[in-house]
Structure 1
């Protein structure tokens, strides 16, 4: 044991924050299903950036809780236990919604059944392809799990390097990571045919994860920035608002930047919000994000993310096509949300939690038997 192995306090406010990111993604997909009238549809236009929030938050949470003494094999198995069982259940639910044995020209989201392509989804490799038939294969929302799988694979090694840094070093790494993200995005839009745009999405999103890691390590080394939570929320809303409307307005270079670097500016906004909320929690200040309801929703957010689009497109399969803008879409959205949330709660309680507990328990017993010299049973 070292001082770095000392348990750090749980940051339940970040669990509640995770739910808000999942709900933002839900709003984005609801805008595709049937949007609200203009301009009330605008807040959901960039809801896909909730995924960016997930990636930054994932890097932060994993690094905040990392322990140098934890074997890499144990870390990997715990991450497998956390995401794969629920992923497989969601995949089985998605197949009859998104697949058919023959082409369906009336439903562009329905694909022809292909076992080899589906197998890529089973092992979380689909996200490494830019081909939409593969990238969105199986459960379309699960392409992000390819990114998470890569993040999990590299985290122990990046963590070992990061542990050498002090607080200032961690903040320098965070700043360099942001610069790299902007530089990469610039490369995708320059040169012959934007040559860098062909990089697989999991590699493209690594800076978001690393930024979360660097910020968490700065906190672990004692960084306690005094960023007012209300100011962070205001800044986040302002940045997302600018990214939403800026590209369509004549703001010159500001419009150009919003259109070209939306993901990178959103990454910074997400990081700022995480810094404010985590710092607030570590100073002992309570937050509405820590309310038991928000924490429970945060715990359900992974399953909700996996199934909400499946529920939505199952409805589309019945009604035939996306709906036009209108206030009645609030009713449709409420119904879809209720079904998806109930399904997410069921998966969390009956699949995710027991499977994770069983797999982690098996690994702990195996490690105990090995260290005690009694062999493996």
Structure 2
């Protein structure tokens, strides 16, 4: 395997296209698994409990896997788009504008559509992205449930100007070592979860206690290892030290990693099992873009789906718990009918994701992400970010 010269940074459409796969994995875990959303009781598409249980076994791990991919990709993309001398205030403005308009709109919709499920006070931690700093599952899952991951993302964004300074100072020859140490950090989190975090009360449907589930999956600081791994991966590609690996082998490795999570218990399956496959895939597809190679994830339809994936992710609960019940009630179907319902719900979520992207996300980024005032001298940090792509 050979390495590339130092990278000339540009757009990486394949990484944008990969986002929809991660969002779809999260969607499938939610559409099959009978979650309770406020006062909306569980409803699955399939009347046959055997089918539901089989699909839960197959797709439920996709929820945690998809989120882990987003966290790693987030670190990669923000580091990739960083430039020397970028202003901290400009960076923070772009990050806030990227996530908060979508978040506030979907939070307000959830509070309105699920009226009676949540009080305003109960939904406030979700709005402020503080909801995952408690083990109370009524709070961290309150209002718009998928938005819990933004609590971690906002922490990543806040810490990035501090994290990038030492990461930029890592010698090129030691980058792979530090990437490995980030994965080791994930393993340590798993060990701490099992040995130091209380093992009671049990979390329904999991082999872990509620405190263990919260610590390994929801508590934002422990997810920093994934974000930092993504940052280091970007540095490896930028330094031209990414080996030549085919996109088909790394795609097969991602599939194998997913398959392994079906048999590996929590907490190891949350992020540890798929960390290496995802890391190799992100770097390999980035290099493929830099070399001008065409990939499936970089095709027009996949890039478009990737662009609306944030909206898809944030509106899924509204579609699954409100729109479905409003249109169809809680009817369950046979294998064919249930499959068609899943496809229809996915299509509806694509539409709501596109609407959110078109009416909220893109206009917000266009009008608010750049200062309209004349530039004045502002504080900078060594190699801080400009967060340009899509997180």
Interval of TM-score (by shorter of Structure 1 and Structure 2): 0.7 to 0.9
Tell me how far apart the structure 2 counterparts of residues 151 and 291 of structure 1 sit (CA, whole Å).
29
Give the structure-2-normalised TM-score. Answer: 0.81
* Partner of residue 126, structure 1: 131
Shift of 1:283: 2.4
* Partner of residue 22, structure 2: 21
Give the structure-1-normalised TM-score. Answer: 0.84
* 1:92-138 Cα distance to aligned partner (Å, 9 max, x none): 221234340xxxxxxxxxx3x32222222222111222211110122
Q: Is the 8 A contact 1:227 1:279 kept in 2?
A: no
* 1:131-190 Cα distance to aligned partner (Å, 9 max, x none): 111101221110001010000001111011111113223222211111111011111101
Which runs of structure 1 show a deviation greater than 3 angstroms over 4 or more consecutive aligned residues?
35-43, 96-99, 194-200, 315-325
* Partner of residue 221, structure 1: 239
User: Which structure exhibits the higher relative contact order, with contacts defined as CA atoms closer than 8 Å and separated by 6 or more residues?
Assistant: 2
- The one of 292, 300, 305 aligned to 1:284: 292
SS of the residue corresponding to residue 278 of structure 2 reads: helix
Matching of residue 328 in structure 1 with residue 344 in structure 2: no
* Partner of residue 160, structure 1: 165
Tell me how far apart the structure 2 counterparts of residues 122 and 156 of structure 1 sit (CA, whole Å).
24
Bigger fraction of residues in helix: 1
Matching of residue 242 in structure 1 with residue 263 in structure 2: no
Q: Is the 8 A contact 2:183 2:225 kept in 1?
A: yes
Tell me how far apart the structure 2 counterparts of residues 371 and 188 of structure 1 sit (CA, whole Å).
46
* Partner of residue 94, structure 1: 110
* Partner of residue 254, structure 1: none
Shift of 1:57: 0.6
Q: Is the 8 A contact 1:166 1:221 kept in 2?
A: no
Please report the RMSD computed on the Cα atoms of aligned residues, expressed in angstroms.
Answer: 2.4
Residue pairs, 1:65-104, within 5 angstroms: 65-100=81-116
Q: Which runs of 5+ in 2 are unaligned?
A: 1-6, 34-43, 201-210, 379-391
Tell me how far apart the structure 1 counterparts of residues 58 and 280 of structure 2 sit (CA, whole Å).
19
Shift of 1:302: 0.2
Matching of residue 344 in structure 1 with residue 353 in structure 2: yes
Shift of 1:331: 1.4
Shift of 1:352: 0.6
Q: Which runs of 5+ in 1 are unaligned?
A: 1-5, 101-110, 248-257, 373-377
